[in-house]
Structures are given as structure tokens and as C-alpha cells.
Amino acid sequence: MNIRSMNNQQKLKLCRELIREYKMKPLTFEGGFYLETFRSDTCSSILFLITRQNFSRLHRLPTAEIYNFYFGDPVNMINIAGNGKLSFIKLGDNFKTGEKFQHVVPGGCWQASYLSEGGVFAMMGTIMAPAFKIGDFEDATKYKQIMLDNYPDCNKLLEKLI
């Protein structure tokens, strides 16, 4: 399937088909759609789909999360490390332009994912070890003003992601 040759209407149709076919559910506390594909005491894995409207809001987890890009439009990630270092990562299938197929978000790192300009959807997978627990998820809402103060050049983006 060559998604790059599809127009936005075709991509939107494919996105809806994927959500339906895989019985993906809204990830209400974060954004996006997911299907848990594996869970044990030691690790968990999900399929994770984001759209323009349903992106991954800024949050952090105590353990590492491994993102794998499968297909769709390129994904922008923002990471804010524990030491305050801000970095931008691009996931996608065009390695010649610096897109990565995989990215590891270290534990304790703030993270958010959203589509590149003009994107319709992206299908990814994430793996966590130890397994994801809902109580470990920390939303950035209560840190919003601190983040806006610390990263004034990114205020417009942070306003969208928090």
C-alpha cells in the first residue's frame, strides 16, 4: 500500500477502515486510538493511531516507551527530558529526510506526538517494559504554566499539546 500516492480523502477512508477493522478504541486520557495487542507482567504492546484531531497530548510515564512507526503520514514528537532539555523527533518512513522508524522515550520524559503539517493519520505501535499501568500516566495539565514559562519559544505548540 503506497500511502504517499493517496489523496487526503483516500487516507481518511483508510484511517476509518483501520480503526474499525482493528476495533481500536479512543485513548481518552491521552488522545489517539489504540488496541492492546499484548500484555504480561513484564511488558505491554499497543497499536496506536493518531489523526489531526486525535493526537497524543503532553504526558509522561515512569518507564521507557518504544515507538515504532508503521505507516501513514510523518509524526512529530516533542520530548522534554528530566534535565529540561527539549528535543524534537520526526517519525516516518523517509529516512533520507531524517525520519526515524523507531524512537525510545526514556522514563520520566515528557512526550507528545502529532502529525506533520497536512497529515491525516499515522499508524504506530508502542511497547513498554514493565507493562503500562493507567496509574503511571501523568498528564501535563498541572504543569502548564511552568512549561510555558520555561519554553517561551514553544508556547503556541505547548498550548496545543497540553
For the chain, domains (ranges, CATH) are: 3-161 (2.60.120.10)
Total length of the chain: 162
Q: pLDDT-based confidence at 105, cuts 50/70/90?
A: very high
Sheet holding 138-139: strands in order across? 86-91, 75-80, 110-115, 56-60, 138-139
Asked if residue 130 has a cis previous peptide bond (ω within 30° of 0), the answer is: yes
pTM exceeds 0.85:
yes
One-letter amino acid for residue 36 of the chain: E
Predicted confidence at residue 89, as pLDDT, reads 98
The type of residue at 99 is E
Mean pLDDT over the full length of the chain: 96
Give dist(CA 61, CA 53) in Å, integer: 23
* DSSP H helices in the chain: 8-21, 144-150, 155-161
Q: What is the pLDDT of residues 34-89, one digit of tens each?
A: 999 999 989 999 999 999 999 999 999 999 999 999 999 999 999 999 899 999 99
Other C-beta atoms within 10 Å of 17: how many? 10
Give the torsion sign (CA, 55, 26, 36, 82).
Answer: positive
Q: How confident is the model at residue 127 (pLDDT cuts 50, 70, 90)?
A: very high
125 falls in which pLDDT band (50, 70, 90)?
Answer: very high
- Split at pLDDT 50, 70, 90, the class of 17 is very high
pLDDT at 132 over 80: yes
Tell me how far apart the alpha carbons of residues 156 and 142 are, in angstroms, rounded to a whole number. 17
